[in-house]
A = this chain, B = another copy of it.
Amino acid sequence: MKLMVINPNTTRSMTDTVVEAARKVARPDTMIIGGTPSSGVPSVESHYEEVYGALGVIDQVRKGEEQGIQGYVVACFGDTGVPAARELANGPVVGMTEAALMTAALIAHRFTIVTLPRRTIAHSERVVQALGLSHRCTVRAVDVPVADLEGGSAHLAGIFAEQVRADDEALILGCAGLTDLVAPLTARLGRPVIDGVTAAIPLVEGLIAQGLTASRVNTWRHP
């Protein structure tokens, strides 16, 4: 299978990080391509930036369709651009947030998203509510700007761990590019830690294996 992981912002190092994370769980015969918009915003931390992020997603899906991409992962917490991408793409599209939430729901009764800037809590909650998981998922923030991720995220392990409480059965990392936190936090917290990009890959692969893509009845018809 030929998949594209779309980073909706223009930061190429972020794309490299998420592609690397995706490859670790992909089937041996899956090819993962990264997509980075040539213009837009360096990170998506507001509703304003989400509009540019969504535009970047559309742009990459258009390119992907020309290249025969069979499925897409949108690597931005909040899943900006996912509905538009679903309408545009022929193959399935999965957002990292919805993928993380579904994965968490299979292994934990209650779980928590820890996101970066406090202002993006509402972005996470939007996806939690669209899936109906408000009764099982809480959203908190470490309140650090996304720019702090340049050069890796390992230095953030401590402030993430501080957000975890006794009744958090699993932890979702609320931003793309945090994969290198999964192993140390899992060890430290003694409970599952989920990266949404990693979680999304088997979901897209599974949809393709089942021959499934977005329904063209009503909501996600081609535009």
Residues on A facing B (Cβ under 8 Å): 25, 27, 45-51, 54-55, 58, 81, 83-84, 86-88, 92, 94, 98, 102-103, 105-110, 118-119, 121-122, 129, 131-136, 166-170, 190-192, 194, 198-199, 201-203, 205-207, 209-210, 212-221, 223
Contact = CB atoms under 8 A, between A and B. Distances in A.
Contacts of A83: 47
A207 B132 contact: no
B46 A221 contact: yes
Given A206-B103, A206-B199, A84 B50 contact: yes
A98 B104 CA distance: 12
A215 B202 contact: no
A202 B199 contact: no
A169 B209 contact: no
Contacts of A217: 108, 166-170, 190-191
Given A84-B50, A87-B47, A133-B131, A108 B206 contact: no
Nearest to A49: B223
B122 A132 contact: no
